[in-house]
Amino acid sequence: MDKILRIDMGAAGGPRTTTSSIGDYAGLGGRGLTSAIVSGEVPPLCHPLGGENKLVIAPGLLSGTAGAMTGRLSIGTKSPLTGGIKEANSGGQAAQVLARLGYAAIVIEGKPGDDTLYKVFINKDGVRITPDNSLKKLPNYDLVERMKEEFGNKIACISIGPAGEMKMSAASIAVTDMELRPTRHAGRGGVGAVMGAKGIKVIVLDDEGMGMRTAADPEKFKEANKRFVDGLRKHPVTGQGLPAYGTNVLTNILNEAGGYPTYNFKQGRFDGAHQISGETQAETENQRGGAGSATHGCHRGCVIRCSGTYYDKDGHYLTKQPEYETVWAHGGNCGICDLDAIAKLDFMDDNYGLDTIEMGVTIGVAMEAGLIKFGDAEGAIRLMEEVGKGTPLGRILGNGAAVTGKVFGVERVPVVKGQGLPAYDPRAVQGIGVTYATSPMGADHTAGYAVTANILKVGGSVDPLKPEGQIALSRDLQIATAAIDSTGMCLFIAFALLDQPDTFQAMLDMINAFHGLNMTAEDVVALGKKILSMERNFNARAGFTAQHDRLPRFFKTEAIAPHNVTFDVKDEDLDQVFNW
Amino acid sequence: MDKILRIDMGAAGGPRTTTSSIGDYAGLGGRGLTSAIVSGEVPPLCHPLGGENKLVIAPGLLSGTAGAMTGRLSIGTKSPLTGGIKEANSGGQAAQVLARLGYAAIVIEGKPGDDTLYKVFINKDGVRITPDNSLKKLPNYDLVERMKEEFGNKIACISIGPAGEMKMSAASIAVTDMELRPTRHAGRGGVGAVMGAKGIKVIVLDDEGMGMRTAADPEKFKEANKRFVDGLRKHPVTGQGLPAYGTNVLTNILNEAGGYPTYNFKQGRFDGAHQISGETQAETENQRGGAGSATHGCHRGCVIRCSGTYYDKDGHYLTKQPEYETVWAHGGNCGICDLDAIAKLDFMDDNYGLDTIEMGVTIGVAMEAGLIKFGDAEGAIRLMEEVGKGTPLGRILGNGAAVTGKVFGVERVPVVKGQGLPAYDPRAVQGIGVTYATSPMGADHTAGYAVTANILKVGGSVDPLKPEGQIALSRDLQIATAAIDSTGMCLFIAFALLDQPDTFQAMLDMINAFHGLNMTAEDVVALGKKILSMERNFNARAGFTAQHDRLPRFFKTEAIAPHNVTFDVKDEDLDQVFNW
């Protein structure tokens, strides 16, 4: 994994590939590598859909190894949604396969002169780029079926649906899971639109003939991996909560805490929460049975296994088990308490290639604008169909909540840096509010998941309703997350890492044993800071200031029930998050 | 003119008015006053459509006097289009009438709790605010007819059309002319959307019983005014070019100079220019005859008289004589060379209440996106009908070029700070490019009209194709403009002021004689700098940086025919414009 593949889609005569050594980027992986390339090579004021922007796809430092949880793929670019730097990451199989093929990153540059659509095939023999306009407007599920017919069953696909082709700012990039379904997505920030602008429909990866990556010290690596896995299994969140109910275990917890944003962030509790909770979801899935409904992972090497399959009443596949953020975005945020409708919306998101969070927040804003009523599940499905078809209304919605709010003159639009807020109200979970406001990514829960200490009492305890302690909490988590996002490891390991120093040490030992390094905890912190600094540097050159590190004003002026709180972290304190 | 009327539209129990002395704002008028109030009172990060924003309507320091050219009305707010401070100004009768009623400004604050629509009537006896939902969605022409029925023929109206009610970011505020037609508009920046958000459809002004404002030294004022008028009459632009052909005299000039943006800024010359030039327009108007087609002014006291009336082939009123910017925006920029179609589009803009520049640029972007073909006049009219109806497509377009580009994934979107570029290509007229890039208003030709020295050889001569000298040119003009925009005087006086020191002195003498002051040329410069500083200070607090003082990158990378030039003013030089 020491080479970088560059694909120039704007080359005269058609796409041209060059493969080079990782060079100056050595030692970086995942988000560390994507952010270094974007920050170092992309002109900050370029148009996100133009030839000067780059799309960087990078597995993590441990992807493709026998290490557990190492299947995350980072995708970086200048975001069409935020206008700033973006790293969106995804589970699925592609990171492992790409790493085994030896690539630290694929960097897609330039832009074709016409609207020809290309597919890229990469295996041990090299790279083949072929125009294939027959793929145009194929939804992701159909596309993957076509790729299976053409390339067989042992592939992994990275693809866009119609939304990406239409260059919508909510367009995601899909990654296939272990069952070769396009259910895992680099969702946020419109990365799919950039892939669409580059004219690439799908990257098909086949690692046949390539072995597992081998560690510098295989024995030490194996032993550290075992300690790491044991640690994950013994922690209540990673060993019990997530496997039993998936991420949707959070619905009842956040609702109980009064931090479950309901009706476009109007209240913190939803009457219909129990109808869409993880517990109800798991019970429904169990009742409906069918092969594969059991809890399982999204990539080989996952030991948390928070995923599953969602069938309809007749036992037909509807979608993968919808995640908490999706159930919230399409559910409580829109006043919808029908799990089957939510599953249908999740499938549509995956199939058209859209970020479920952005789409749910957008539909909430459309409801606020009066296009349909809160709670209207059929209406929400109709709106999503418009997006898939690319009607004018669909294009508005497919460009996210900020654009939708602007087009319909809505004042209450929950976005930061143009990106929709996820499933935790920043007034009742003030630590996550700090992350939403200050992350270089725009409103992003994963960038510094303060729900841990605020609500779950993982990694300490910080009162969620008060500003005290939230800056330090968000800062530490943002630093740690930037580092973890570079390893290729699933962020969910953080629950165990935060509470169990020996599990953190085991992860460090894995990295050191694999790469022959002697990294300490301080080195991990330094790496996280370095990545955040690169990202903030890019954003500053793109015109972002402290004024962009703010929540929309209504979070300061509208108190939220049941706790009757506003977001009370002071602006001048927000400005200290990166002042380390 | 020493009082400020504040209308709180969000007051419990309905709108509440308070009238106070001008107090700390004494000595300011027009743009100086609107920018002082917006910068001093509006939270820079508030939502433009929220209750915290204010809409400030102010006549100039000399409005309502017997002085010539003093009919400009300034309207200031936080712009829904740019997110920054905005002053849009308009001709028409309202400034004179408002000044005679004694108001230095109307400040509209707060926001009603429901969607009731109000009309405001102001006369010598005071202010009356009445809910009137029967006015909903009335276009401006019909609305004014209704107001005439209700309040008689001696009124002036300040109103919004359906676009403002729909809170579109391209919505203008209309002001009636001497014939009580809603043909004069504070066009730019979506000021109409803010009026719509405040729930005010129309402000009707009646100055019956109020005399002309009287000068501190009436004789000196009268004498200075005479010198001023003589100066305007002897200058070739204000005395001959503008009266003979209106502002559209510029079409042939800019086309000849290769600076006429054609097909969404793809080339600098338009084959069809002669079909839509001021000369052709004047000939057409003369042929079609009809009362009122002769050149005339937009307000009493105008001695330039650059306006006229445009009739159809059968002698029926189509619209007022379309301005150069409108003819360009709907014409050359869209590849349309049909004056009747352009006149129809101008009427639709005025009637729906839309900025003609923003709409023309937006339709150009829609053409670039492939919605209709360049040159398709019928298609452009259809698109405008969608805007008037508020269909999803209409709402996209009505929110301007930046939103339209984003929704349809277009890369070549000619905007600065979200506002569409006017009718001079910044590559072939580099001085105006400096103004577009750096004005606190977003891309705005009037903010520092460097076309003077670049093309017209007024106020000196600076090679339009080279970066040399453009910074100083734009700086000086931006400073002078901010000051002139405070007097209530029409900016067109600048042509004579730049070339004729005695005409500049006459204007200064008018101000001094009227207000009993001793202002010097240096004081005028200081006033201009003070206004620009306030505006830039607001924008900085709203998150604007040097990175926002840039043209879209394609002006640097795409050379334009016929001169094969790119915009070559360096970024670091742009950053020196306000470094005085």
The span from the CA of A247 to the CA of B381, in Å, is 51
Does A296 reach chain B within 8 Å, measured CB to CB?
no
What residue of A is the nearest CA neighbor of B556?
Answer: A46
What residue of A is the nearest CA neighbor of B49?
Answer: A411
A129 Cβ neighbours under 8 A, 6+ residues apart:
A7, A14, A15, A17, A118, A119, A120, A121
Tokens standing for residue A83? 């206008």
Tens digit of pLDDT for each residue in B459-511?
Answer: 999 999 999 999 999 999 999 999 999 999 999 999 999 999 999 999 999 99
The span from the CA of B80 to the CA of B193, in Å, is 7
The residue among B186, B224, B552 whose CA lies nearest residue B405 is B552
The span from the CA of A422 to the CA of A327, in Å, is 11
> Under an 8 A CB cutoff, do A408 and B395 touch?
yes
Q: What is the model's pLDDT at position A293?
A: 53
Q: What is the model's pLDDT at position B1?
A: 74
Evaluated on CA atoms A226, A232, A236, A238, the torsion sign reads negative
The span from the CA of B124 to the CA of B127, in Å, is 9
Does B330 reach chain A within 8 Å, measured CB to CB?
no
A465 Cβ neighbours under 8 A, 6+ residues apart:
A428, A430, A563, A565
B195 Cβ neighbours under 8 A, 6+ residues apart:
B55, B108, B160, B164, B171, B173
* Chain A residues touching residue B166 (CB < 8 angstroms): 409
For B247-294+308-423, CATH number?
1.10.569.10
Whether B127 contacts B211, CB under 8 Å? no
Does B467 reach chain A within 8 Å, measured CB to CB?
no
Tokens 């995640």 belong to: A323
Does B556 reach chain A within 8 Å, measured CB to CB?
no
Which residue in B396, B408, B545 is closest to A543 by CB distance? B545
Q: How far is CA B528 from CA A74, B28, B332, B376, B483, in A?
A: 50, 11, 34, 43, 5
Cβ atoms within 10 Å, residue A555:
26
* Chain A residues touching residue B409 (CB < 8 angstroms): 49, 166-168, 193, 196-197
> Under an 8 A CB cutoff, do A399 and B393 touch?
no
Domains A3-205 and A215-246+427-580 share a fold: no
Nearest-Cα distance to chain A for B5, in Å, is 26
Does A572 reach chain B within 8 Å, measured CB to CB?
no
Nearest-Cα distance to chain A for B165, in Å, is 10
Q: What is the model's pLDDT at position A1?
A: 74
List, as one string, the DSSP characters of A81-141: TTSSEEEEEE-SSHHHHHHHTTEEEEEEES--SS---EEEEEETTEEEEEE-GGGTT--HH
The span from the CA of A384 to the CA of A116, in Å, is 26
Over chain A, what is the mean pLDDT? Answer: 96
Strand A419-420 with B3-8, pairing = unpaired
The residue among B400, B349, B397, B342 whose CA lies nearest residue B375 is B342
Does A72 reach chain B within 8 Å, measured CB to CB?
no
The span from the CA of B89 to the CA of B158, in Å, is 12
Does B115 reach chain A within 8 Å, measured CB to CB?
no
Interface probe with A: pick from B383, B406, B536, B549, most Cβ of A within 10 Å: B406
Q: How far is CA B336 from CA B271, B393, B426, in A?
A: 10, 21, 21
Evaluated on CA atoms B305, B306, B307, B313, the torsion sign reads positive
Tokens standing for residue A543? 């015109």
Q: How far is CA B315 from CA A447, B142, B280, B285, B319, in A?
A: 66, 20, 17, 10, 12
Cβ atoms within 10 Å, residue B457:
11
Cβ atoms within 10 Å, residue A162:
26
> Under an 8 A CB cutoff, do B553 and A50 touch?
yes
The span from the CA of B164 to the CA of B170, in Å, is 8
The span from the CA of B540 to the CA of A76, in Å, is 29
A–B CB contacts, 8 A cutoff, strictly below: 95
pTM exceeds 0.90 for this model: yes
Selected from 3.40.50.300, 1.10.599.10, 3.30.2350.10, 3.30.2010.20, the CATH number assigned to the domain covering B216-242+425-580 reads 1.10.599.10
What residue of B is the nearest CA neighbor of A417?
Answer: B543
- Kindly report the CATH class assigned to A215-246+427-580: mainly alpha
User: Vertex A515, ends A58 and A237: CA angle to 5°?
Assistant: 70
List, as one string, the DSSP characters of B261-300: -BTTTTBS--TTHHHHSHHHHHHHHHHH--TT-S-B-SST
> Under an 8 A CB cutoff, do A395 and B408 touch?
yes
The span from the CA of B406 to the CA of A402, in Å, is 11
> Under an 8 A CB cutoff, do A547 and B44 touch?
yes
The span from the CA of B38 to the CA of B379, in Å, is 39
Q: What is the model's pLDDT at position A292?
A: 52
The span from the CA of B81 to the CA of B190, in Å, is 6
Q: Give every residue of chain A whose pLDDT is below 70, as ranges.
A: 290-294
* Chain A residues touching residue B387 (CB < 8 angstroms): none
Nearest-Cα distance to chain A for B144, in Å, is 25
Would you write out chain B's pLDDT as a tens digit for each of its 580 residues?
Answer: 789 999 999 999 999 999 999 999 999 999 999 999 999 999 999 999 999 999 999 999 999 999 999 999 999 999 999 999 999 999 999 999 999 999 999 999 999 999 999 999 999 999 999 999 999 999 999 999 999 999 999 999 999 999 999 999 999 999 999 999 999 999 999 999 999 999 999 999 999 999 899 999 999 999 999 999 999 999 999 999 898 889 999 999 999 999 999 999 999 999 999 999 999 999 998 888 765 555 788 998 899 999 999 999 999 999 999 999 999 999 999 999 999 999 999 999 999 999 999 999 999 999 999 999 999 999 999 999 999 999 999 999 999 999 999 999 999 999 999 999 999 999 999 999 999 999 999 999 999 999 999 999 999 999 999 999 999 999 999 999 999 999 999 999 999 999 999 999 999 999 999 999 999 999 999 999 999 999 999 999 999 999 999 999 999 999 999 999 999 999 999 999 999 9
The residue among B15, B354, B391, B398 whose CA lies nearest residue B192 is B354
Tokens standing for residue A563? 């706790």
The span from the CA of A358 to the CA of A326, in Å, is 9
Does B199 reach chain A within 8 Å, measured CB to CB?
no
Q: What is the model's pLDDT at position B194?
A: 98
* Chain B residues touching residue A545 (CB < 8 angstroms): 543-545
Whether B435 contacts B448, CB under 8 Å? yes
Q: H helices within A212-277, ranges in order?
A: 218-234, 236, 242-245, 250-257, 273-276
Burial of A292 (0-12, 13-18, 19+ CB in 10 A): middle
- Chain centroid, CA A514 distance in Å: 26
Whether B230 contacts B185, CB under 8 Å? no
Q: What is the model's pLDDT at position A295?
A: 72
Q: What is the model's pLDDT at position B100?
A: 97
What residue segments make up the domains of chain A, in order of their start? 3-205, 215-246+427-580, 259-294+308-423
- Kindly report the CATH class assigned to B3-205: alpha beta
Does B78 reach chain A within 8 Å, measured CB to CB?
no
Q: What is the model's pLDDT at position B121?
A: 98
Which residue in A45, A52, A80 is closest to B547 by CB distance? A45
Does A115 reach chain B within 8 Å, measured CB to CB?
no
Rounded to a whole number, what is the largest CA-CA distance in chain A? 62
Does A387 reach chain B within 8 Å, measured CB to CB?
no
Whether A83 contacts A61, CB under 8 Å? no
What residue of A is the nearest CA neighbor of B395?
Answer: A407
Give exposure, A81-109, as e/b (b: 16+ Cβ within 10 Å). Answer: bbbbbbbbbbbbbbbbbbbbbbbbbbbbb
Which residue in A169, A197, A554 is closest to B406 by CB distance? A169
- Chain centroid, CA A202 distance in Å: 18
A259-294+308-423 maps to CATH 1.10.569.10: yes
The span from the CA of B573 to the CA of B576, in Å, is 5
Give the containing element (helix H, strand E) for B398.
Answer: helix B392-398
Tens digit of pLDDT for each residue in A113-167?
Answer: 999 999 999 999 999 999 999 999 999 999 999 999 999 999 999 999 999 999 9
What residue of A is the nearest CA neighbor of B547?
Answer: A543
What residue of A is the nearest CA neighbor of B401?
Answer: A407
Residue type, A499: D
Tens digit of pLDDT for each residue in B136-153?
Answer: 999 999 999 999 999 999
The span from the CA of A277 to the CA of B532, in Å, is 55
List, as one string, the DSSP characters of B438-498: H-TTSS-STTS-THIIIII--SS---TTSSTTHHHHHHHHHHHHHHHHHHT--TTHHHHHH
**Which B residues in the span 34-63 are in contact with A, Cβ-Cβ below 8 Å?**
43-47, 49-50, 52
List, as one string, the DSSP characters of A166-229: TT-TTB-EEE--TTS-S-EEE-GGGHHHHHHHTTEEEEEE--TT------SSHHHHHHHHHHHH
Q: How far is CA A169 from CA A165, A190, A375, in A?
A: 11, 4, 25
B115 Cβ neighbours under 8 A, 6+ residues apart:
B199
> Looking at the DSSP assignment, which residues form a beta bridge with residue A175?
A158, A184
